[in-house]
Amino acid sequence: MTAPWADWNHILKLDPDKDLPEGVTYGDLCATGTDAIEVGGTMGMTEENMTAVIEACAEHDVPLYQEPSNPSVVVENDGLEGYLIPTVFNAGSPFWITGAHKEWVRLEGDLEWDRTYMEAYIVMNPEADVATLTEADCDLAEDDVAAYATIAEQMFGQEIVYVEYSGTYGEESVVEAAAESLEESALFYGGGIHDYDSAHRMATHADVIVVGNLAHDEGVDAVRETVKAANDA
């Protein structure tokens, strides 16, 4: 079966804890040409705010995924194509590698495995909430990141490796090293993409670029530029 993300170039990640710019709707953002919407964030997540964003996006014709940050915010909604579940390979606490996942399965029992996909995160921005929360070791050189990507794919069978610079624009050489180390797995890149150029540069290395803050800070036109760049690269 072909992975849902096989043809994706661009994901728009919407954070339920952040507002949209004045006059912008979720419908506008769903219509930017992005290949998928991922609803998720690190801080301030609740089932209520997750549900509100998922319901608002589910009315529109774009693949919709939830990226729950912990088991208590997982939303069941027919509008969701599935779940993208992070596991943080460089987390300092095992809770974010397998612990949260174990709790989810313990509490929920039978998950919908055919709609549940893993993302092997390598968290790179020490200032980001996700780095603090997971106690990630972000002091990684290119060869460390490449090796994490390799073990994610070859030892742990991860189909998605996600180099995450959330909130800041990353080192292109690091993303390139991750890309070169992967054989079949898809490389997602997220962090600090803010215009055509920054999107295009990362999209030459990554299979899929993830744009987050820009939607909340700038709105539709800026996001459209990044979609164009992702498709051009």
231 binds ligand 1GP (CB under 6 A): no
Site string for ligand 1GP, 198-227 (x = CB under 6 A): ------------xxxxx-------------
Q: Which two tokens stand for residue 183?
A: 């054989």
Determine which residue in the list 4, 21, 82, 167 makes contact with ligand 1GP, applying CB under 6 A: 167
**Stretch of residues binding ligand 1GP (CB under 6 A), selected from 58-66, 87-95, 135-143, 189-197:** 189-197
| Residue 124, CB-side half-sphere exposure with 13 Å CA sphere | 30
Compute the least distance from the CB of residue 214 to ligand 1GP, in Å: 6
166 binds ligand 1GP (CB under 6 A): yes
Is the Cβ of residue 17 or residue 154 nearer to ligand 1GP in the bound state? 17
Determine which residue in the list 10, 13, 201, 205 makes contact with ligand 1GP, applying CB under 6 A: 13
16 binds ligand 1GP (CB under 6 A): no
153 binds ligand 1GP (CB under 6 A): no
Determine which residue in the list 192, 204, 224, 233 makes contact with ligand 1GP, applying CB under 6 A: 192
164 binds ligand 1GP (CB under 6 A): yes
Instruction: Report in angstroms the alpha-carbon separations of 162 from 107, 187, 233.
Output: 27, 6, 18
Residues near ligand 1GP (CB under 6 A) are 13, 164, 166-167, 190-193, 210-214
